Amino acid sequence: MNSAESISAPSAVVADEHVVDESGHFHAHDAPVDLAHYTFEAWIAFVLFWVLAATIFYQFFTRYVLNDSAAWTEEIARYLLIGMVFVGVSAMVRMQRHIHVDFLYRLLPPRIGRALSTLVDIVRILFFAYATVLTGQMMSKMTNYKMTIVDLPMNVVYAVCLFGFACSAIRAVQVAVEHWRQGYSVLERPEFPIESSI
């Protein structure tokens, strides 16, 4: 291929797309929306996010419009944020969107990279399982504690955290099994996500 052909190839691709018609109008078609790959814990985190947004809006409205701030909103917003994060962690474990460094795996021999990746999967499972146990133990010791302003037990907040850790442990096991089945992980081949298969 000569240089003239390589320069004209991208323009041919753009011309075939027909984003702008002859009269200069812009035509774009959105891809169909597919919500099937979101799991139930992702939807729970989504609901918590919007309840948090409504709480913050109500706090803003009562403080700056009514000049009579609702005292409970700050505490409930804090707990909603905690719940959203801990439940959302599970969805990110499944999608493998947590921060990780895969540069080292490009330098290691494939067999060592596979062993190290398997170790990462095992440590992740143990971490979330242990965090689940610790949260349960903490809940058993804090049965009489109440929230500061709202008369609700603090174990409501810790129960959401326990749920998030338990879901994360289950998702970590699913991810590890899928890595073992396919023979590589996202650390070894970051271009192949597995979220559609779990």
Measured between alpha carbons, how far is 164 from 171 in angstroms, rounded to an integer?
Answer: 10
Q: Predicted confidence band at 194 (pLDDT cuts at 50, 70, 90)?
A: low
Cβ neighbours of residue 157 under 8 Å, at least 6 residues apart? Answer: 79, 82, 83, 147
Average pLDDT over residues 106-115: 85
Higher pLDDT, 27 or 41: 41
The CA distance from 194 to 147, in Å, is: 40
Is the model more confident about 11 or about 95?
95
Mean pLDDT score of the chain? 83
Give residue 193's pLDDT. 61
Determine which of 18-27, 85-94, 141-150 has the lowest per-residue pLDDT on average.
Answer: 18-27
Is the pLDDT confidence value at 15 over 50? no
In this prediction, residues 13-23 reach a mean pLDDT of: 60
Question: Confidence band (pLDDT; 50, 70, 90) for 179?
Answer: confident
Q: What is the pTM of this model?
A: 0.75
